[in-house]
Structure 1
Amino acid sequence: MPLFKNLIAFRIAPEWTPPALEPLEAEMQRLAFQPCGATQELSVGWLPPRGEEHGAMVESVGGHWIMKLGVERKAVPGGAVRAELEARCKVIEAEQGRKPGRKEKAELKEEIVHAFLPRAFSKRSSHMLWIDAANRLLLVGAGSTRAAEAVLKQLGDLMAELKHVLSVSPLSTATSPSAAMAHWLTSREAPAGFSVDRDLELKNAGEEKSVVRYARHTLELEEIGQHITEGKLPTQLALTWEGKVSFVLTDMLVLKKIDLLDVDDNLGKDNGFDADAAIATGEISALLPDLLSALGGEMALGTGAAAPAAPAPREDALEEAPF
């Protein structure tokens, strides 16, 4: 499985200094992932990125830190809770001649969920995190901004415990991804270093909220320009960078379905995690500045001015994967 399938990039505030690895590792070990208890709905904790039991919680590869957050959720079916709640309310009405009030219903519902949790199915997922301190970049392996924000909270709490308060902001570009993708499609001209592939999603933000999708289909069509003229904007577009990395760019500047194309399949097998991490961080670190440039350049937070795209790190220099 690729090290990163989805990524959302954040800019780290210039005043942040990374903690030393030893206390960071110790704190992450203290906050290691533990499975949900019998009546526990949610458990969140850190996992060894290599996947080895009792392994290190933070890996440093070529100056890049790789971390992994594990999440387990137990879900009680809403239908089962509603049926049980209705049955209990009927019993109370029959025995006491009254209907339970809102507060009592809420308490009953909580009691039912608590009783059902030991039998509930659990779902586990994980998110890889990549910190490039030299270029002030934090990349979260998540397919949505909502999922990324939950991961950022855990990382923020971790850093706060170490007294290295972490402040990050989403990358912002002079041209929105939707506007840029619309231009590439209508002009039929991809930005330098990129090629447009064969997957596209367009959405109308109006009341109709209509959606048009093209999958494994040529995108050099007059009708696509017509859709854009009518108000449908691209929300996802498949791209390939330099023939090396294919991905789907979203209107929220999320990179999905990342695939490294020019990697020797045997390299990762022979060298394991270190080779996978070095290749992934190297290729994506080179891709990001080109992507930001294609979107008009990065906007400096709070200034409205374009900031230089982060350079690729020197050679010496956080839907989610199950686990």
Structure 2
Amino acid sequence: MFFRNLTLFRFPTSLDLSDLEQQLAECALKPVGPLELSSRGFVPPFGHHGDALSHGLHDALWLTVGGEDKLLPGAVVNDLLQKKLAAIEEQEGRKPGGRTRKRLKDDLITELLPRAFVRPVRSDALLDTSLGVIAVDTSSRKNAESVVSEIRRALGSFPALPVNAEVAPRAILTGWIAGDTLPEGLTLGDECELRDPTDTGAVVKVQRMDLSGDEIARHLESGKQATRLALVLDDHVSFVIGEDLVVRKFKLLDGAVDQLESTERDDVTAELEARFALMAGEFKRLFNVLEKAFKLSKADA
């Protein structure tokens, strides 16, 4: 259950979560209706291995927003629509207008929805209540905002805002590649994205390369700036962070995962609990480093 991406938001550490389980239950996932395109709500983080809609450990919380999406391919709708339009044109001797096209398309969707396949989806989130930060397992800002909106719907109020840096992330990332001292515990990875600061400038994407080498140095000398950079924290976590402050390719390395292998567990629930505990601890360490390096602002209480 390790997260792969982290889209981050800040919220006040004074947030009251004393009635969380009851509030989540009132917004639990309901099956998508016959005429609905989708449905969203909370589901147990442990899936079929638990009933609770949240899992807490110390100051870390694991929430999961589940969903059901109807699969209604646009090509199928458009094909049927064209057939109906052709039949009307042949019968009436004229092409149907825009309003007729829209009405026919709406009617087709209403007709097809009850027979459409349903695709289950889930989005996981980790809340650290002591840091006042939520990490949503997605690199899509839109999907992350959707999860935050569901939490807000359940709590009634959830003043969470995307993380904001008081310094330019691009300048920090570029400086690290250029030789500036990295925060304690961080080392350069083998991947980066360099962009010319002009709107139509060149973009260079590098993978599996020594970022301290001459080739990268020449790109920096030509004025390119780092917009994404791979980093490693204490041989425990590797990740790529962008100027948008989204953490991508988040991965726990052997130095961290070895802690799991050294402990025997008898069931799936215990394994999930151990994995969450490990990830929550590594995330806290990582966020503390990023918060200081980028001077991330806190949410107003």
TM-score, with structure 2 as normaliser: 0.86
Question: Does structure 1 residue 8 correspond to structure 2 residue 18?
Answer: no
Q: Which residue of 1 aligns with 2:209?
A: 217
Give the corresponding residue for 2:273.
274
Shift of 1:32: 2.2
Alignment partner, residue 69 of structure 1: 65
Match of 1:99 in 2: 95
Mapped pair 1:227 → 2:222? no
User: Counterparts of 1:185 and 1:134 in 2: how far apart (Å)?
Assistant: 32
With over 3 angstroms needed to count, the CA separation of the structure-2 counterparts of 1:201 and 1:117, relative to structure 1, is farther
Q: Which residue of 1 aligns with 2:40?
A: 44
Displacement of 1:85: 1.8
Cα 1:74–1:217 shift into 2, 3 Å:
farther
The answer to whether the Cα contact below 8 Å between 2:64 and 2:123 also exists between their aligned partners in 1 is yes
Structure 1, unpaired ranges of 5+: 303-323
Is the alpha carbon distance of 1:224 and 1:134 closer, same or farther for their aligned partners in structure 2, counting shifts above 3 Å?
same
Within 2, Cα distance between the matches of 1:86 and 1:154?
38
Q: Aligned to 1:18, which of 2, 13, 16?
A: 16
Residues 26 and 154, structure 2, Cα contact 8 Å, conserved in 1: no
201 and 25 in structure 1: CA distance in 2 versus 1, 3 angstrom threshold: same
Q: For the residues of structure 2 that align with 1:229 and 1:156, how far apart are their CA atoms?
A: 46
Gaps of 5+ in 2: none
- CA change 1:102–1:28 in 2 (3 A) is same
Instruction: Specify which of 21, 24, 30 is matched with residue 28 of structure 1.
Output: 24
- In structure 2, what residue type is equivalent to 1:92? I
In the superposition, the TM-score normalised over structure 1's length comes to 0.80
Residue deviations 1:177-231, cap 9 Å, x none? 2221111112375333211111222345655465322222222233334434555
Query: C-alpha distance in 2, partners of 1:110/1:98?
Result: 21
The one-letter code of the counterpart of 1:73 is D
Residue 140 of structure 2: which of 131, 140, 144 is its match? Answer: 144
Distance 2:99 2:113 in 1: 21
CA offsets 1:25-74 (integer angstroms, 9 cap, x no match): 23323332244344432121111112235610011112322111112322
Helix, strand or coil: the match of 2:88? helix
Distance 1:230 1:150 in 2: 40
**Is structure 2 residue 164 aligned with structure 1 residue 172?**
yes
Q: Which letter does structure 2 place at the counterpart of 1:294?
A: A
Shift of 1:8: 2.0
The Cα shift of 1:246 comes to 1.1
Contact 2:193 2:228 in 1 (8 A): yes
Separation (CA, whole Å) in 2 of partners of 1:237 and 1:122: 38
Distance in 2 between the 1:55 and 1:62 partners? 20
Deviation per CA, 1:148-201, whole angstroms, max 9, x where unpaired? Answer: 1111111111111xxxx2101222122232221111112375333211111222
CA distance in structure 2 between the aligned counterparts of 1:301 and 1:57, rounded to whole angstroms: 26
- For 2:139 and 2:223, how far apart are their aligned partners in 1? 25
Q: Paired residue for 2:109?
A: 113
| RMSD value, Cα | 2.6
1:251 corresponds, among 243, 248, 255, to: 243
Alignment partners' CA distance in 2, 1:115 and 1:209: 49
In 2, the alpha carbon distance for the partners of 1:225 and 1:282 equals 35
Q: What code does the residue aligned with 2:179 have?
A: S
How many residues of Structure 1 are paired with residues of Structure 2 in the alignment?
A: 293
Equivalent-residue separation in structure 2 for 1:240 and 1:63 (angstroms): 25
